Amino acid sequence: MSDAGGDGQRRGLYPEIAPYDQGWLRVSDLHEIHYEQCGNPERPAALFVHGGPGGGFDAEDRRFFDPDAWRVVLFDQRGAGRSRPHACLEENTTQHLIADMEALRSHLGIERWMLFGGSWGSTLSLAYAQAHPERVTAMVLRGIFLLRRWELDWYYGHGTQGVFPEAADRLHGLVPEGERGDIVGAYHRMVTGKDEGLRRRALEAWSRWEAETSSLYTDPKRVERFSGAEFAEAFAGIELHYFANGGFFPRDGELLLQAGRIASIPGVIVHGRYDMVCPVRNAVDLHAAWPGSELHIVADAGHASREPGTIDCLVRATDRFAGKG
């Protein structure tokens, strides 16, 4: 385990790059997932697995990879980003997403790939790797989220109120006082209820909360983006659908209980010391259960992927798995 500090020369993102291929893959009678490819089609494949669930990917996400060294595949999970239908919760579970990843791999003619995921993207990457370990060459995971009940209670309840009291008061302010012992359940009821005005306010409040608490220094642009109605519809709606259903895992803590299935897969875990969304305990627990991993705790970062120390660790990891040192 290393504690990555702010000393020395830090790596930045690679230059902007356009995709050489993009499209939609029909994965059911209802759903089409959007995907794109960039980089070098002759090089090993890496799959970018976005967070949320419901967050989608954007052009900046391509830049964690050397475009000369990787064939980079990015996709929007069901209901997210440009996948269709937007914000749809029907036929939308972890098991569906794992099957979609396999369908995309087969569609693109890829035998094996590296997985790169942060937050919920780390959750889904772990779930996929445990289901299909023979398809995974390595993993680079950030802001580890294992979707245990205590993690949700900590972030949406007692754990963050002392650090972000103003934001927490806004989040909890929509919830009747008698229901504040289960913020996830209360918000899930609001966003699936018949009061459209309350539903809209709840979607925006839920999404805004995560934007306000994701980085060491709050990013106003992220808050503005997350607060937009279209983004919040998918981000908050899909998150609450998954969280209210325990991530559709059979047991609490399932990903740690099944960690033996990925024991031989090499991996790098990157986690901000001051991550308020996903406590650093998650990364420590995963590292202990996954012998093939190494852990880097970034001393001056929160949860977001684009904080300088986190970028440095992530880019160094993708470079190393590309054979660049």
DSSP SS3 for 113 = strand
- Which entry of 66, 76, 100, 275 is annotated as an active-site residue? 275
Maximum Cα–Cα distance for the chain, whole Å?
58
Which of 34, 50, 76, 119 is an active site residue?
119
Closest among 136, 103, 91 to 117, alpha carbons compared: 136
Cα dihedral 208, 209, 211, 216, rounded to 10, equals 150
Q: Which DSSP symbol is given to 194?
A: S
For every residue of 136-149, DSSP letters joined together read EEEEEEES-----H
**How many Å from the N-terminal Cα to the C-terminal Cα in the chain?**
19
DSSP string, 93-144: SHHHHHHHHHHHHHHTT-S-EEEEEETHHHHHHHHHHHH-GGGEEEEEEES-
Report the alpha-carbon distance of residue 135 to residue 113 in Å, rounded. 6
> Where does residue 164 rank: exposed (0-12), middle (13-18), buried (19+ CB within 10 A)?
middle
C-beta separation of 138 from 265 below 8 A: yes
What letter would DSSP give residue 265? Answer: S
214 is catalytic: no
- Is residue 76 flagged as an active site residue? no
241 is catalytic: no
Task: Give the residue numbers marked as catalytic.
Answer: 119, 275, 303
